[in-house]
A and B are shown apart, each in its own frame.
Chain A
Amino acid sequence: MSVRLEGSVIRLEGECRAEDAEPLLSLLQEEAGRVVDLTSAVRLHTAVIQVLLALRPPLAGPAGDPFLARWLAPLLAATPPG
């Protein structure tokens, strides 16, 4: 299980694959304000990143994966243009 809900925190754990995008999307849409915790995520599939980019939920970190922390987390945290 790579997407897990704990209280109001959604934890992404280990390797998140394309099929994890849908449960993540449902959890985020179910209740506004849920935080996504990237601490133990290793690799996020593009489909998962796309959901985060579209909804821009608050993120809890720091991300455990260096690529995620260096390149993706800043992009996902930034305010959407426009």
Chain B
Amino acid sequence: MSDLLEQFLIEGRELAQQATEDLLALEHDPADEARLAGAFRAVHTLKGSVAVFGFQPMERTLHAAEDLLDAIRAGHLAVGREVINPLLDCIGTSEAWIEAIAHTGRLPDDAPACGRRLEEALQVPLGVDAASSPTRPAAPDPAWLPDLAMAEAPAIAKAQAAGRRVTALRYVPVPDCFFLGDDPMALIRSVPELIALRLRQREPWPEGMIDPFTCNLVIELLSTAEEEAVRQVFRFVSDQVDTTTLTTPSPVLPVPPEEPARGDPVGTTGRSLRVDTVRIDALLDLVGELIVAKNGLGHLIAQMGEAEPRLARALGESQAEIGALAEAMHRTVLGVRMTPLARTFRRLPRLVREAASGLGKAAALDIRGEAVEADKAIVDGLFDPLLHLLRNALDHGIEAPAARTEAGKPVTGRITLEARSEGGGVAVEVTDDGRGIDPARIRRAAKERRLMPEAAIDALDDAAAIQLIFQPGFSTASAVTALSGRGVGMDAVRTAVEGLGGKVSLASRPGAGSTVRLLLPQGASVTTVLLVRMGTEVFGVPMEAIAETARIPAAGILPLRQGEAFVLRDRTVPLVRLPALLDRPAGPRGDIAQVLVIGAGAERIGVEVDGFAGRTDVLLRPLAGLLSGMPGLLGTALLGDGQVLMVLDLPELIG
């Protein structure tokens, strides 16, 4: 994928996000002109970058959205659902298209048809308006064009006489562009086939008060190159340029809408550097190599110790210093991967709004704690489970308006999405004020689906019973809805969250609402493992997988059918030996068996190891090369002494 396309994907996602946020805020407060300008600018810029790559259906759709926003800006239309809905649909589809481009390099096959539908929907509000106002041309010529065309008429006439099409461009650099490192004139130098250039001050300088650091210029030019080719030069400032292709030889043109507002602060991005995560991870690997290299030095120092004790001591001190620096570097690089949860949270309001209107329910989403940070992998991985939880809350939690009124609740349901830093991890809670979950109903459904023996289900207290909804195959939706009844239940949420190294739990008060709580690690890359010995070998087992460790007297281990078992707090727990899991011969057992217990409840199982060798934080690397696809192995990690540690996936090994 070309750098340019990659840049487009990054910026495209941001612009779509920005447009969505502005539109949602605008729906809330139709008088917010800054938001209107923000939405317009985002759509305009996105359309501009789309044009560079020639994704035509997307460009046309965005163009229609831009027209609609423009009509609102001009005061021809009022903000309301009938304009916000098609605009949000357009942006939502654009987001999906951007992801399609990211995966396949092109738009989906149904894009032209889908784009036409969106385009028509965007034109509906304008069409109503068109009856009372003069018809607008499909692509109106910009306001600045007549002046330029008039002043440069000889150049245009000459080019058109030679059969060339003329592209006009107006570039208004942002006032602080010099600080951003832009040199607008350097871009102008790169414009192909320049045939005219005009340069003037945007505003007159106050008497004697010229500020050499503020850019106060309007640059206009004509070129005989294609519009796309000219835009390409300005791709990084595409929000500051406006282009058009001259169609008629006549410079007399209809009066066009007002030119876009510029330089307003809403949505301007911070001065930061965009770095692909792949590069960060490469950096992380390098730090790992550095630690290994440092350890190699340790062996040399030890060998040299006898011959040259003083030199060895000095080298040892140096080595310790390099070690400390390498560790600091390791922490810093991990810190770079930390991302605010806002990255995921911000994508949710639009989808919740869509879901609510689809269900005919009214709900307000309140988001808190979006500044809390976690590793990028976790932040990204939370999107699907959170979306599912929010849809679930709308579908099953929040009651229909009539039922809410009857229950004495406000008609608008309230869903809160809140994140907090909690004990080295991140807690994310989704709370609704809906009908809550009835434990009796859950028990009944669990029995119908034979999730557990009936006696075991009856033995669960209410708080434990409602956790059954996380079991695979559980779904209490009496009517399958289009929204959350598509065969993926809460077990999908649990699987996703556990995949991120987290845990999920549910609390509910019937009639008052429910809270689903996700507890996640903050940094995904670092895994705490328990080191276990098997003969002379050491393996790692992620702490998250371990429920507890136990020392069991050999006499307490009982034969059970083909295997063995032991009793832990009055419950019989099956026991397997680690060598058996790894197909290795087992050594003799001592007086005391060292056991680690994995799983919970009836699923508990003990794994006997030869001993424990402490715990450590490692950077888990996924399996690559020969090892990839090896069952029972989560990954490998480098230990502080440079040894490679195999980290086991015990649940999978046990099967």
Query: Which A residues have a C-beta under 8 Å from some C-beta of B?
Result: 18, 21-22, 24-25, 29, 43-47, 49-51, 53-55, 67, 71-72, 75, 81
Among A45, A55, A81, contact of B210 (Cβ-Cβ < 8 Å) = A55
**Interface pair A50/B183, CB less than 8 Å apart:** no
A46 to B212, Cβ gap below 8 A? Answer: no
Q: List 29 A-B contacts (CB under 8 A).
A: A18-B178, A18-B183, A21-B213, A24-B212, A25-B210, A25-B212, A29-B208, A43-B186, A44-B185, A45-B183, A45-B186, A46-B173, A46-B178, A46-B186, A46-B217, A47-B178, A47-B213, A49-B185, A49-B199, A50-B212, A50-B215, A51-B210, A54-B201, A67-B189, A71-B188, A71-B194, A72-B197, A72-B199, A75-B198
Residues in B neighbouring A47, C-beta threshold 8 A: 178, 212-213, 215
CA A43 to CA B189, docked complex, whole Å: 10
Additional pairs, 11, CB under 8 Å, beyond known A43-B189, A46-B186:
A18-B213, A21-B213, A25-B212, A46-B178, A46-B185, A47-B178, A54-B201, A54-B210, A67-B189, A71-B197, A75-B198
Report the separation of the CA atoms of residues A74 and B59 in the bound assembly, to the nearest whole angstrom. 38
A interface footprint on B207-219 (CB within 8 Å = 1, 0 otherwise): 0101011011100
CA distance A67 to B187 in the complex (A): 12
Is there an interface contact between A75 and B215, defined as CB atoms closer than 8 Å? no
| Chain A facing B: main interface SS | helix
Residues of the B chain whose Cβ atoms lie less than 8 Å from the Cβ of A22: 212-213
- A50 contacts which of B188, B198, B208, B217 (Cβ < 8 Å)? B217
Q: How far is the CB of A20 from chain B (nearest CB, A)?
A: 9
A75: contacting residue among B184, B189, B194, B197, CB under 8 A: B197
In the assembled complex, which residues on chain B have CB atoms less than 8 Å from the CB atom of A67?
Answer: 189
Closest to A22 in B: B212
Q: Establish whether residues A21 and B183, one from each chain, have CB atoms under 8 Å apart when the complex forms.
A: no
Residues of B within 8 A of A (CB): 173, 178, 182-186, 188-189, 194, 197-201, 205, 208, 210, 212-213, 215-217
Contacts of B213 in A (CB 8 A): 18, 21-22, 47
A51 / chain B contacts, CB cutoff of 8 Å: 210, 212
Nearest neighbor of A55 in chain B, beta-carbon distance: B210
- Distance from B578 Cβ to chain A, minimum over Cβ atoms (Å): 66
Give the total number of A-B pairs whose CB atoms are below 8 A apart: 57
Instruction: Pick from B182, B183, B197 the residue with the most CB of A within 10 Å.
Output: B183
Least CB distance from B95 to A in Å reads 35
| 8 Å CB contact of B201 from A29, A45, A46, A53 | A53
Closest to A45 in B: B183
Nearest-neighbour CB distance to chain B for A19, whole angstroms, equals: 9
A72 CA / B215 CA spacing, docked (Å): 17
In the complex, what distance in Å separates the CA atom of A47 from the CA atom of B197?
17
Chain B residues with Cβ under 8 A from A25's Cβ?
A: 210, 212
CA distance A59 to B213 in the complex (A): 22
Counting chain A CB atoms within 10 Å of each CB, which of B186, B205, B212, B217 scores highest? B212
Q: Taking CB as reference atom, which chain B residue is nearest A26?
A: B212
Q: Which residues in A have their C-beta under 8 angstroms from that of B199?
A: 49, 53, 72, 75
Q: Which 5 A-B pairs have the closest CB atoms?
A: A21-B212, A46-B185, A46-B184, A22-B212, A71-B197
Of B178, B200, B208, which one neighbours A81 at CB under 8 angstroms?
B200
Q: Which residues of B contact A46 (CB under 8 A)?
A: 173, 178, 182-186, 215, 217
**Minimum C-beta distance from B264 to chain A (A):** 22
A54 to B215, CA, bound (A): 12
In the bound complex, CA of A24 to CA of B212 (Å): 9
CA–CA, A81 and B218, complex, Å: 14
Which residues does chain A contribute within 8 Å of B188, judged by CB atoms?
71
Chain A contacts of B178 at CB under 8 A?
A: 18, 46-47
| A25 CA / B197 CA spacing, docked (Å) | 24
Q: How long is the Cα–Cα vector from A51 to B178 in the complex, in angstroms? A: 13
In the complex, how many angstroms separate the beta carbon of A71 from the nearest chain B beta carbon? 5
Contact A54 B185 (CB under 8 A): no
Q: How far is the CB of B181 from chain A (nearest CB, A)?
A: 9
Partner of A45, one of B185, B198, B205, B217: B185
